Amino acid sequence: MIKFNSTNIFVGEIKELLKSFNLPSYKVLVEGEPVSIFDGFSYIYSGMILVGKVNKDFPNGFIYNSNDFSYRDTYFYNQNILNVTHNLVIKNTNYDYLTHNRLGNYLRFVRDYQQLDLMSMYNCFNGQSANNIDIKFDGGNKVFNTSDNSYKLFTVPVKYNKDYTFYLDCPTSLEIVACYYLNNNQLNNLIVNSDSKVLENYLYTKTYYKANASRFNTPFVYSKLKDLLFNVGNDDVKRVLAQKELELTLLLKLPKDNTSSIVVLEGDYSNDIDQRYFSNNTFSSHSQRIVNCKVEESIKQFNEFNSYKQLTYINDNNSYPFATRLMEYLTGNVITPIDNIELNTKRVETNLIKKKVLNTYTPYYDWNKELRVRLYLQAQDKKMLNDTFDILGYVDKDIEAKVVGFEDTTKEWEG
């Protein structure tokens, strides 16, 4: 696995990818995902750039209504838009925290716009110690200060409306609080309509969390950001806080002698504890449920692509930025729904039909959920889920070798 500050050929590939990709600064709206929209804010949704006409919360999931927006322009993937899209500026050959932060935002965009979720292989912890932090609140009883050598502070860039699962060993107490942090500096003050205690009243006190201890093998879920904006009653304050999302960062306060590996995954993975150790019995129920139900209905409801995660498998006192499997996806060596070579999917389906895993081709050889579920269940039946990391139901090198096969029976070439 690559470590933070590594220098190798793949680090160069990541930097070139992020340099060439035009990452939008606009939020992508996703059907069914909790979000708040604001009058005058720009968004990307379904190939369109939209401007909000209302202030509106969607705590139970976004539902598009054309009356809530005005149409500005079309949008296509990787479009270069002046002052809207940005590219990584390469300043060194190291896998530094700036590269890691940009990779995280790239993966979030791919997840939200392309519906390809690879975030289970990305560590939101960026390997960075905090600098220039001086936060006191609750009458001075809670303190986060980098000048105090009795503990250390780490940064975790995050987003609103998300849970975060923490994996680390700490036999004593640890503390977490959110702040706005960019370029090694915190935002010290935020005034809205003469209210000079916005940070203390709406951010610090609402996001503070203390755990008496933590174990890497039994992670805890930090949920303070999930409903933060929804619970802000002042619309002006809510609007300003939403504008600062790019700088939103968790500060993790640990004892000075703590050397644990630190992994932070975006999402609630607390139910994955049983999937942390290789076993002959862990993955055994999925295919039976498919057999016992109508195939169409069970496929539609299936959403349990659990797999052993390399990032969370062992605490070796090193923190890694991402799982090895992610390298396959970033270099285009996995066949996924966003693969732009149609023949790749046809080759996969041809082999699966020959093996009687599928009955017929998907329309236009497009990926659908059934194809992913079938691949995942075949991996389960071959016990790949018992000894292989990060199997998501797409055609990675292990799925190709053990489920799909290398044989090309289509005898076609991409035109």
- Residue 101 identity (one-letter amino acid): N
Q: Are 132 and 185 in contact (CB under 8 A)?
A: yes
- Give the containing element (helix H, strand E) for 110: helix 97-114
> Which tens digit of pLDDT belongs to each residue from 47-106?
999 999 999 999 999 999 999 999 999 999 999 999 999 999 999 999 999 999 999 999
Whole-number pLDDT of residue 386: 81
Radius of gyration of the chain (CA): 23
**Segments in 115-219 forming alpha helices (H):** 198, 205-207
Residue 306 pLDDT grade (very low, low, confident, very high; cuts 50, 70, 90): confident
Let me know how many helices (H) and strands (E) the chain has, helices first.
11, 18
Whole-number pLDDT of residue 342: 81
The DSSP string of 237-292 is HHHHHHHTGGGEEEEEEEETT-----EEEES--GGGGGGSS--SSSS-SHHHHHHH
- What average pLDDT does the structure give for the chain? 91
Contacts of 311 (CB under 8 A, 6+ apart): 121, 123, 167, 263, 265, 320, 322, 323
Whole-number pLDDT of residue 293: 42
Q: C-alpha 363: how far from its chain's center? A: 30
pLDDT at 189 over 70: yes
Q: Name which of 89-98, 227-236, 276-285 the model is least confident about.
A: 276-285
Whole-number pLDDT of residue 277: 47
The share of the chain scoring above pLDDT 90, in percent, equals 79
> Which tens digit of pLDDT belongs to each residue from 11-59?
999 999 999 999 999 999 999 999 999 999 999 999 999 999 999 999 9
Residue 322 pLDDT grade (very low, low, confident, very high; cuts 50, 70, 90): very high
Whole-number pLDDT of residue 284: 46
**Alpha-carbon distance 146 to 390, whole Å?**
36
Q: Are 63 and 37 in contact (CB under 8 A)?
A: no
**Alpha-carbon distance 30 to 128, whole Å?**
30
Whole-number pLDDT of residue 413: 65
Q: Are 240 and 190 in contact (CB under 8 A)?
A: yes
Whole-number pLDDT of residue 230: 97
